[in-house]
Chains A and B, each alone.
Chain A
């Protein structure tokens, strides 16, 4: 029987220890040798970016009031099962907003767009197959 090397799990807590074959330590191909070595890999818990608490944490303070207003409205509407998708969509879009608003220069660029001083390119020029892609997106709704 070929030897199998096991590397002891490391940190405990929220991390989960997984075991998987390590091709690089086996000459790059598991099938090339009868020896199997396992290496220790760690899986970090993934964060749900659409979690309202994560959104509030990442969203600039100035946006909190509007986010909470829309969130509470969507939560109320989600009492009806038909409102659930709208709540999901709202959280998704706000998670993107939190991401964008956290970028340096975000508000300055918005201000420039409002003032008409921002340099912009029509989407049809930036994405040459925009019409086809937008039509596909509409069909996807």
Chain B
């Protein structure tokens, strides 16, 4: 199974104007999440179902 990142309207808005290094970091994180979706990255409470 492969995963694809989807960006919300708010994320898109925030993405514009990001400094280059910050944009690169965003790409890195998204690529990592797509490649390793089960990696124990921080999972906000709302996504764990108890938020």
Contacts and interface: CB of A to CB of B under 8 A. Distances in A.
User: Chain A interface: which size bin?
Assistant: 35 or more
Main secondary structure of the interface of A (DSSP, over half): helix
Contacts of A138: 31, 35
Given A62-B51, A123-B4, A107 B46 contact: yes
- The B contact surface, by secondary structure, is helix
Contact of A66 (B10, B15, B27, B45): B45
Interface stretch (A17-25, A26-34, A38-46, A109-117): A109-117
B28 A70 contact: no
Given A137-B31, A140-B28, A120 B7 contact: yes
B34 to A, nearest CB: 8
Given A105-B10, A133-B27, A123 B44 contact: no
A126 B5 CA distance: 10
Nearest to B40: A70
Name the interface size band of chain B. 20 to 34
Contact of A121 (B12, B31, B43, B44): B12
Interface of A: 60, 62-63, 66-67, 70, 90, 93-94, 96-97, 101, 105, 107, 109-114, 118-124, 126-127, 130, 133-134, 136-138, 140-141
Interface of B: 4-10, 12, 15, 24, 27-32, 34-35, 40-48, 51
23 contacts: A62-B51, A63-B44, A93-B42, A94-B42, A97-B42, A109-B10, A110-B47, A110-B51, A119-B8, A119-B9, A120-B9, A121-B7, A121-B12, A122-B4, A122-B5, A123-B6, A123-B7, A126-B7, A126-B12, A134-B30, A137-B24, A137-B27, A137-B31
